[in-house]
Amino acid sequence: MGELRLFMENLSRKTGFSGELRFDEPMASHTTFKVGGPADCWVCPAPACFPEYAPALLAAAREAGTPVFVLGGGANLVVADRGIRGIVLDTGSWTGWDFTGEAKGPGDSTGSVTVRAGTPADELINALAERGRGGLEFLAGMPGTIGGMVWMNARCMERSVSDVLIETEILDEQAERVIVPYNHEDFSYKKSPFQGRKVLILGAKFRVFRREAEEIKKEAEILRIDRESRGHYRAPSAGSAFKNNRDFGKPAGKIIDELGLRGFSVGGAAVAPWHGNFIINTGNASAAGIRALVTAVTEKVRDRTGFTLEPEILFVGDWGGV
């Protein structure tokens, strides 16, 4: 730990770091599930130094063999109770957008918006409405950042982020800035080419079209109210716990409902009594409890239907080899 402190202090000095930097930072306060032990080091660079600091951090950490975990809004994560070893780079301050191109008329998609990775979806949608640009309303009410949504290829209302993506700007494994043009073959249901790579998404460019502000606001509001009515925000969670596999012939939540598993709980984690595919923290859940519940639900579904559910929520951090 002493070495990591020294490493971070040297880097701060070299890069003229400004922002927040903490050691032994509880990850429970950075995840929507409200669980997760301490990160050895958590750093959130101020926007002014982000473009210089992020590549310097990634390059130095790579050379030192120190792992870096990139954090968006923490809305799809179960962080281990033992926390995260190494550095957590929080992208939350890296927000903002630029409009490019001119959307000429309703439905015309020649316009685009380039968005910094840390921008929350709702903030972006509000800005698009002010500018009279539609196309991303389907993300309304979804917790998390644009970077996390590109990484996850987030999906709602039968639309995925990849449906509107033009290109992604990343820092690659060598900490070099690279523009990755959208390629249809690289994306599929909840899959992006950035999964399994050690890259930082800096931002993304999306297709937008001209639309009346009032229409955008109305649609976004309807979607937010719909999420609220389905209990999305009623308890800490990370959204849908399991992926929807078309081969099952019905949504994962319906399968879980039909087996009477709503309310089924293990150590403070429960299948939401109001939604079969939501696993919630009822107040005192541990990450281990959530994982045990996911395993128990998966086994029950497999035993009784033959289907193997695949978790959508990500288990990250130091699980102690378990």
Ligand X SMILES: Cc1cc2nc3c(=O)[nH]c(=O)nc-3n(C[C@H](O)[C@H](O)[C@H](O)COP(=O)(O)OP(=O)(O)OC[C@H]3O[C@@H](n4cnc5c(N)ncnc54)[C@H](O)[C@@H]3O)c2cc1C
Which residues in this chain contact ligand X in the complex, by CB under 6 A? 32, 69-77, 91, 117, 142-145, 147-149, 151-152, 154-156, 200-201, 232-233, 237-239, 314
Cβ pair 263, 270 in contact under 8 A = yes
Closest distance of CB 291 from ligand X, Å? 16
210 vs 243, beta carbon nearer ligand X: 243
312 in catalytic set: yes
Min dist. Cβ of residue 314 to ligand X (A): 5
Q: Nearest approach, Cβ of 152 to ligand X (angstroms)?
A: 4
Rounded to 5 degrees, what angle do the CA atoms 246, 247, 248 make?
90
* Residue 282, both tokens: 């009822």
Kindly state the helix (H) or strand (E) to which residue 279 belongs, with its residue range: strand 279-281
The DSSP code sequence of 285-296 is: --HHHHHHHHHH
Please state whether 214 falls in left (phi above 0), alpha (psi between -120 and 50) or beta: alpha
Residue whose CB is less far from ligand X, 103 or 271: 271
Nearer to ligand X, 75 or 103 (CB): 75
CB of 215 to ligand X, least distance (A): 21
**Cβ pair 58, 70 in contact under 8 A:** no
265 classed as catalytic: no
For ligand X, the closer of residues 85 and 300 by Cβ is 85
- Least Å distance between CB 94 and ligand X? 8
Of 170, 190, 187, 188, residue with least CA distance to 179: 170
Residues 269, 122: Cα–Cα separation, whole Å: 28
Compute CA 44 distance to the chain's CA centroid, rounded to the nearest angstrom: 16
Closer of 60 and 235 to ligand X (Cβ): 235
User: What is residue 184's DSSP assignment?
Assistant: G
- Helix-strand-coil percent breakdown of the chain, rounded to 5? 35, 30, 40
Catalytic residue among 12, 160, 237, 240: 240
Whose tokens are 């299948």? That residue is: 271
Give the separation between CA 144 and CA 153, rounded to whole angstroms: 12
Could you give the residue numbers annotated as active site?
A: 240, 312
